[in-house]
Each structure stands twice: as C-alpha cells, then as structure tokens.
Amino acid sequence: MRSVLQKLCLTCLLSLFTALAGASGLDVKVIGPGGQLLSDAVVSLHSDTARAAVKPVSSAQISQRNKTFIPQVLPITQGTGVSFPNEDTVRHHVYSFSETKRFEIKLYVGTPAQPVIFDTPGVAVLGCNIHDHMVAWVVVLDTPYFATTDPTGQARLDNIPAGRYELRVWHKDTPADQPGYTQTIDLEPGDTSQTLTVSPGAPR
C-alpha cells in the first residue's frame, strides 16, 4: 500500500514539476481593424517540435441545423476525420473546392457513414449546393497547440512546452490572397500573457 502511495506522490510531483518548469500558457486577444473583438479566430503556435507532436483529434464534427453549419469555424489537427451529421429534415449537399481538401457529400439526410479525413494543412471552405448562404471553414493545423477566440476575442493556450514558436492568427474575414497574421514568440516557462492586434482587412 505504501509503495503505491509513494508512486502516486512521485507522479504528482513530476506533473507539478512539468507544470512549473516545462509548460507555459498564453493569452491572446484578437482585435479587428475597427477595434472590434473578433470571435472564432484561430490562434495557433507552430514549430518543428509542435509539428512532430501532431495527432488526429477524435470525434470532430460539423452538424447542419436550421440550414446552418455548427460550428461555423472548426480548427483541427492534420489527419483528423470530421463527420457531418444532418440534423435537419431537408437534404444538404456539403462540398469543398479548396485545395486543402476537395470533397462532396451528395444530397443526404442523417449522418454519413464515413468521416472526411483532412490530411493537408490549410483552410477548407465548405458550402452546401442547395443552400447558398451556408458556409463554414475547417482550419487544418500541423500543430497540437491551438485555440479559438470566444465572443470577447480571447483565446487561451495551456500546457505549451516552453520554446520558440511562430504564432499565427486566422480569421474568416482575412482575404484569401493575403497572408494571415504571424509573429515569432518565445514562451518562457510559466504563464505568459500577451495582447495582440490583428488586421484581417476588408471582408470578402
């Protein structure tokens, strides 16, 4: 019994040590060109070690409800399968012509049997062939370190190994022909807090 407890304590101490010495956190606030807070912006941290740590996430999905994609912006890691359950009674026809992933799921109701695998980093713009107003974005990332901003424009990245990263910010209003926001950032052990301003340009 005692040795089990000792083992548990050792594990606790090791986790604590990692939290104090190895991992870091980052707060990012994303603000548009007019000073407005931007929700649904994807903030990500990139490096060679981050790329090596990428694994597909499980159970990613974009549902269709009231002729709307939910969520409208879905960040995922490279290799992740996304399912597209149709919760409406009308049929949808989901497609992407984007280079990152070209696919279509022809007129369907219910949940398609196979998820769509997104194995190339980039942004796929999704539409519906029947309902022109429906639009969503899948942001495929070659890093496990990312977060989406909330309605107050805030994103929090936790448990990031200390080191040098390229911080990228993507927002749907960023014109496709312009590079998104990037910045080199050094994460020291312990919490870091930073506010940055993004200018995503004129909406398309």
Q: Answer yes or no whether residue 130 interacts with Cu ion by CB under 5 A.
A: yes
Q: Answer yes or no whether residue 92 interacts with Cu ion by CB under 5 A.
A: yes
* 47 or 68: CB nearest Cu ion: 68
Cα–Cα distance between 123 and 179 in angstroms, integer? 12
Q: Answer yes or no whether residue 112 interacts with Cu ion by CB under 5 A.
A: no
Task: Output the smallest distance, CB 127 to Cu ion, in A.
Answer: 9
Is the separation of the CB atoms in 48 and 147 below 8 Å? no
Task: Output the smallest distance, CB 129 to Cu ion, in A.
Answer: 7
* 128 or 167: CB nearest Cu ion: 128
Specify the stretch interacting with Cu ion by CB under 5 A; choose among 54-62, 125-133, 147-155, 194-202. 125-133
Within 7-66, which residues bind Cu ion (CB under 5 A)?
Answer: none
* 106 or 164: CB nearest Cu ion: 106
What are phi and psi for residue 189, nearest 5 degrees? -60, 140
Question: x/- contact string, 134-173, with Cu ion (CB under 5 A)?
Answer: ----------------------------------------
Q: Answer yes or no whether residue 101 interacts with Cu ion by CB under 5 A.
A: no
Applying CB under 5 A, the residues found at the interface with Cu ion are 92, 128, 130-131
